[in-house]
Amino acid sequence: VSSLNAVEGSINSPLHRFVRAKKKINQSFDEILDYLKESRRFLIDCEISNQYDGETKRDLKKVDNYLTQVVGIHEVLKRDHMKVAFFGRTSNGKSTVINAMLSERILPAGIGHTTNCFLSVNGADGNDAYIEDTSKNPPERNSVESLQQLAHALHNQKLDSSSHLKVYWPTTKCPLLKDDVVFVDSPGVDVTPDLDTWIDTHCLDADVFVLVVNSESTINHTEKSFFHKVNSKLSKPNIFILNNRWDASAEGDPEMIKLVKQQHMERTSEFLVKELKCVSQAESADRIFFVSALETLRHRMSMKRSKMPQREPSIDENSDFDEAAYRMGKMARRQEFEDFENKFKECISKSAITTKFNGHTSTGITIAKEMVQIMEQILARASSHRSWCTAERQEQQETLDFINSKLEEVTEQIKNKIQNITEEVEMQVTKAMSD
């Protein structure tokens, strides 16, 4: 039942729109490819039978070019996925947010500087998890069975902060990975001076960015300047801001918490709306969230373990500690994490469909139209060739008839001549004999 629910959940997810669109566009390009191959065979036949000369050669060259183009697009489409990249200062909880979204402790997370290079989590078809080091040629593969192993493997890699390790995790374990989402984790933006290389290497093809801020402090200059750079290279990037570790404020004075939340909200929305100008004031409410990644991760993992909806333990009426309020706070933060995920799914699938498929769709349409044009031209040439052949054949028939009649005439004349000569000779012979 739970796996059925997971499949259904996946089908109804906005992310599935991307998966369906990808399937459809791949099918369309399969059809275009078949059509091109068939057209190519046809043109080669025309060329062999020496028909339409130079024009056929020119069309064949065009079809060959389209074939190369379509094979290339087909390859790109097969690999296309939705990419979300996480940035923020060290220890703000980037890796924990990704783990929470995947409901599993996949990426190493901990105090201090933990993630020291770019790590992407990709879906793998089989049951085995492995990591691939793309900086090696050919890329090196190491199997990973547990988080400890992954952390150990990462620790042993002598990589600079811009390098990229790909973690492949079985899609059967995480529905988000099945829906073609690739998560990119990064080291803290405060640990490298080389943000430009990061942006050029890892950000230009990202569909969504998530800035993980520490709500115990606030968004700071390094985080802002990183996103100013991203904004200057990409027009209106899709940015979400997670004010993480919001649980840390749970035990404070409610009035104070309200004020802090308001302050964070004002600062972060001003950053998105006025500084980056990537969303309107109204849209900014759907881009800023107050969450606790750690709580969400713990909750989801315990749900997974028990495979049953968790019931909160009953409230101790005599306790001094306001448990009810505490639990309400926890639930509200989990709900806000889910709200973030829903908005994120809508945004990433819409953005990825537009940026990844729009260009290819118009190229596919242009190629299909051009092919129809080529075929129509061949048809026109064939029919003019056919009428030329008919006229030619008629002319040839008339000449043949004329020659035939001439031949008959000449034959008759020859016959008569031979008859006359024969008669003459016979006369001569008879005369000679009588003499």
Smallest separation, CB 368 to ligand GTP (Å): 47
Looking at beta carbons only, is 95 or 351 nearer to ligand GTP? 95
Q: Show the tokens assigned to 267.
A: 């600062």
Q: Which does 117 bind (CB under 5 to 8 A by kind): Mg ion, ligand GTP, none?
A: none
Q: Quick check: 150 and 105 in contact, CB under 8 A?
A: no
The site map against ligand GTP for 186-225 (x = CB under 6 A) is -xx-------------------------------------
Q: Which does 153 bind (CB under 5 to 8 A by kind): ligand GTP, Mg ion, none?
A: none
The β-bridge relationship of strands 129-133 and 140-144 is antiparallel
Strands (E), 66-180: 82-87, 118-124, 129-133, 140-144, 164-170
Question: Which region, judged by CB under 5 A, interacts with Mg ion, from 88-96, 133-141, 199-207, 217-225?
Answer: 88-96
H/E segment holding residue 29: helix 15-48
Q: Which does 244 bind (CB under 5 to 8 A by kind): Mg ion, ligand GTP, none?
A: ligand GTP
Q: CA nearest 79: which of 306, 310, 356? A: 356
Which residues 72-111 are close enough to bind ligand GTP by CB under 6 A? 88, 90-96, 109-111
Looking at beta carbons only, is 60 or 109 nearer to ligand GTP? 109
Adjacent-strand bridge partners of 241: 211, 288
Q: Which does 247 bind (CB under 5 to 8 A by kind): ligand GTP, Mg ion, none?
A: ligand GTP
How far apart (Å, rounded) are the C-alpha atoms in residues 398 and 385? 20
Q: How many chain residues are in contact with ligand GTP, going by CB under 6 A?
A: 23
Is the CA virtual torsion 357, 279, 289, 215 positive or negative? positive
Q: Which does 248 bind (CB under 5 to 8 A by kind): Mg ion, ligand GTP, none?
A: ligand GTP
Range list of H helices, 251-357? 254-270, 281-284, 293-306, 323-352
φ, ψ of residue 376 to 5 degrees: the values are -65, -40
The site map against Mg ion for 172-201 (x = CB under 5 A) is ------------------------------
Q: Distances from the Cα of 271 to the Cαs of 8, 239, 280, in angstroms? A: 38, 11, 11
114 scored as a contact of Mg ion (CB under 5 A): yes
Smallest separation, CB 151 to Mg ion (Å): 11
Q: Which residues of the chain form contacts with Mg ion (CB under 5 A)? A: 94-95, 114-115
Q: Which residues of the chain form contacts with ligand GTP (CB under 6 A)? A: 88, 90-96, 109-111, 113-115, 187-188, 244-245, 247-248, 292-294
